Amino acid sequence: MQAASQLFHLGERMEDKTTAKAEVDALTAQLREGKDVVLAKEKEIKALKLKVHNQEEAMERVVTENASLQKQLEGKEKDNIRV
């Protein structure tokens, strides 16, 4: 009778280990999925930062070109006033 009880409890512990392993496996899979989501977001953020940087550089070029054109226009206006 004692052996049967021990076998029963051994079976319970084995079931608990199997259940625990399944839970660990499920949590590990969730963790991997979460990690993939984080990596994708980091990649998206990096791409957006690069886009912002490129837009800032383009804006600087536009401002410089605008200033140059403004000077040219002012020079032509002065020339027209002289004539």
What is the tens place of the pLDDT at every residue in 1-39?
777 776 666 677 777 778 878 888 889 999 999 999 999
Angle at 37 between CA 27 and CA 39, to 5 degrees: 115
What is the average pLDDT score of the chain? 87
Q: What is the pLDDT of residue 83?
A: 58
Q: What is the pLDDT of residue 13?
A: 73
What are the angstrom distances between the C-alpha of 31 and each of 26, 47, 82?
9, 24, 76
* Predicted model pTM: 0.58
Rounded to an integer, the average pLDDT of 55-66 is: 98
